[in-house]
Each structure stands twice: as C-alpha cells, then as structure tokens.
Amino acid sequence: MKHWEGIVRDLVFFALLPVNTRPIADTKRETNVKKLGSGTCILFWLISLALSPRAVAQVIQVSNVEELYSAVNDSANAGAAIVLSSGIYMLSALDPNGVPRPKGGRIELQPDMSLTGVVGDRSLVVINAFNLPASSFPAGATGPNAAVRMGLGHNALEWLTVRDAGNGQANIDTGLQPVDPGTTFIRVAHVASTGSTRGMNILNFGPKTSGQTIEADIIDSYFFENTLGVSEGIRMGNFQGATGSTVNVRMSGNLSWGQETGRLIVNNTASNSAVNVVSSGNRFYGNGAGTIIAGGLTQGVGRADGNTINFEAHGDEFLDNTRETDFDQGGLVALGTDNASLTGGGGNNNSVNVQLWGCRMLNNKLSDLAAIGARSLPSGDPSLNQNDHVTIGIRGYGNGNSRWPPVVSYIDSMPATPDYGNSVTIIQ
C-alpha cells in the first residue's frame, strides 16, 4: 500500500508543477503519462483514493521567507506539501518588525508535512541559517537542535539546500520525533547540507524515545564540509538513555565529503536498542573517516549494554579519507563497544554485524577497514567492556576480490589482554 501511495503522490505532485519547472530528465516520463489516456489516469486517481486518504496533499506555493514561516508555523497546514520557488531563504530569530519568531526562527515541519524546492536542481532553493543565534538552538527534551526539523508522522525534505546552521548541532534533524509516540517516517532526497557541525541527525534521543522507531530514507543527497565542532556529515542512532529504541535507515546514492567523520552510526549511552542500515551506492571520501560504527559508546558514567547494529553495504565506496581528525581515521571503522570514559561507562553484550558486497576501499589513512571488539582508554577499566562482538562479511567483487585489496586492522580488545570475551570475526 505504501509503495503505491508513494507512486501516486509523485504522479500527482508532478502534474501540479508548472511546465517550466519540470526537470528535463522527466520529459519521457511526462510523455508516457500522457499516453496512458484519461481513462487510465482516472483509474490511478481512484486507486489513490482507495489506498490512502493522504495520497493527495494540499499544495502550498511559497516564494519568500515570510511565506515560508507562515506556512510551516500554521498547524492547520498539517499534511501539506510546501513547494518553494527558487531563491535564498534567510532564516532569522526576529521578523521584520523585531518580533521574536516562533521556535527561535527554526523551520519545524507540521505532522505529515513536506518541503520541496525546484525539482531537478537542489541549488536553486537555499535555506540559510547563518543569521540564527545560539539562542535559537536550545538543547532540551528533544535533544540536539537544528535549523530544519522533522519527525512528526511522515515528513519529507527534497530538492533544496540547507546550510550554515553554525550555532546549531546540525542543519537538519529528526528532533520533533520524541513528542510523537508513533513511528516516524523521514525522507530526505536530492538535498545538500553544508556549513554546520553536522549535515543531519537521525536520532532517538533520551528516555522519552524509549521503544520508539524512526524509519528514514536518504537518497541522492550531499553532506559536505560540515566542519564545525565534531564535524560529521550524517549521524544516526540511539542516544542518552534511549532503551529498546530502533532506527532503520536506507541510504542510496549519497555523497559525504570534507568532514572529520563522513557518517557515524552509534548507540551512545543507550541500552537494548538497534540501528539497521542498508547502504547502496554511497561514496565517502575526503573525510577523516568515511564511516564509524559503534555498537555501544560511552563517555561518562552511563552504560551502553545489549545493543545491536546491522550494517549492509552494496557497492559503497570509501576512498581517500585522509583528513586530520581527533577521532578514528580510515575508510570504515567498526567497534563493538568504545568506552571513552575515565570514570565508569562501558558496555556489555553489544554486537555489530557488517556485510560488504562489492564495496571499494582505497587510499584511506591508517586502514581501509578496521574492527575492534571493545576498546577502553589506556587508563580506563577494560573489565567494563565484556562480550562485545564485531562480525564482518566481505563478499562479491570489489575489495578482497580485486586488484585493490584493502588495508585491514582487526583487534579483539584494546588493551589486548585480558580480552573479556570480546571478539572480531571476519568472513570472506
């Protein structure tokens, strides 16, 4: 049902676009739709109505930042598809009359709302958060804050650029999700994100998100040169007291470059939680590390126990990740548990399962592929990390079966002895 709903929504949205804004690449598609004839089009319409009452959304066209704020801040527009004309939309904490804007000037989508720029060119619509002060990004119950926020029902962001949230934790996040007890569905497609600490956060954050699920599709998007602070292209996982939470992400055809970490997948001080990622045709290059996976991460007295990360990559590329960074370096780095605390922390029974199909890894600093069952600081207590495991399967053509064998590093435990039941297993 959801598959057909998406097809019908795309057809209806395309039909509503002015002819001169339709992408050249879709000319053949438009011609084929016309050839279907009026009877078949009516049939599509009837099918869409039968399948879902949300198939045809209210379309709101906006052409300037004041219209954008008016549209997204009106609760009556829940479920609307907001379409932005080309231009730069400068966000601000105050309106032209000096009155504080709702939500500090952030863009927060209503339930089931989507935001779309000019189809075919993500550079024509730019949401710029450069003028938002630190006071526009307070941390709170919904966790880290961003310029554009999603997480209520079905939210989508497509064909635009979000940039320069220098005082926020990210340009884009799912930070509205904790106030919605249902499953959140996120779609980010053909988007560019640059100039912040992170390009995007996809997080279950805090105890309020315990038991909740995020479903995210990230398609043909660019996360680049987010160089402030910890500097990450995209971060996903369960955080800060989340228990029994799940993040499911499907990434296809994305690029991430110019950060300390291109992609971070992690359960940070979470318990009995899972992250499942299917990644196809993505490229991570020119970062300090292409992708870092941590089944459990702790940095204070809290623990991360019983978590799982399943990562499956088909044709991903991890190339030339040689940037200087304070964190792990290399192409793909997988850790069962990483305890960066001197005062406690640690994690038991965490598992990371990695399956690589035809992936390419080349010219990365230190190693192309690294795995550590459990890691503690040299002055930390390694007994706090027990029974943590990383399993990596390398299959198909690409590294391991080609003229570019990866540089690998596999360690069961750091420090090495005693290993407390931690392990790395490679299947090739």
Coil/strand/helix, residue 238: strand
Q: What is the pLDDT of residue 143?
A: 75
Rounded to two decimals, the pTM is 0.86
Yes or no: say if 148 and 107 are a contact pair by the CB < 8 Å rule.
yes
pLDDT at 56: 65
Task: Residue count of the chain, please give it.
Answer: 428
148 close to 106: Cβ distance less than 8 angstroms: yes
pLDDT in single tens digits along all 428 residues of the chain: 444 444 444 444 434 444 333 333 333 333 333 333 444 444 443 444 444 444 567 999 999 999 999 999 999 999 999 999 999 999 999 999 999 999 999 999 999 999 999 999 999 999 999 999 999 999 775 678 999 999 999 999 999 999 999 999 999 999 999 888 899 999 999 999 999 999 999 999 999 999 999 999 999 999 999 999 999 999 999 999 999 999 999 999 999 999 999 999 999 999 999 999 999 999 999 999 999 999 999 998 999 999 999 999 999 999 999 999 999 999 999 999 999 998 899 999 999 999 999 999 999 999 999 999 999 999 889 999 999 999 999 987 565 555 567 899 999 999 998 999 999 999 98
Q: Is 312 helix (H, G, I), strand (E, B) or coil?
A: strand
Other Cβ atoms closer than 10 A to 11: 18
Decide: 218 and 184 in contact? Cβ < 8 Å: no
DSSP 75: G
- The CA distance from 81 to 3, in Å, is 18
> What pLDDT is stored for residue 144 in this prediction?
86
CB atoms within 10 A of CB 416: 9
Q: How far is CA 222 from CA 109, 160, 225, 236, in A?
A: 21, 11, 10, 16
- Return the H-helix or E-strand segment holding 311: strand 308-314
Q: What pLDDT, on the 0 to 100 scale, is given for residue 343?
A: 85
Q: Which of 344, 243, 245, 351 is nearest to 294 (CA)?
A: 351
Q: Are 302 and 345 in contact (CB under 8 A)?
A: yes
Q: Kind of pairing, strands 283-285 and 317-319?
A: parallel
Distance, CA of 193 to chain centre? 11
Contact indicator for 228, 166 with CB cutoff of 8 Å: yes
Sign of CA dihedral 45, 2, 191, 91: positive
Kindly compute the dihedral angle of the four CA atoms of residues 242, 248, 254, 260, in this order, to the nearest 10 degrees.
20
pLDDT at 397: 58
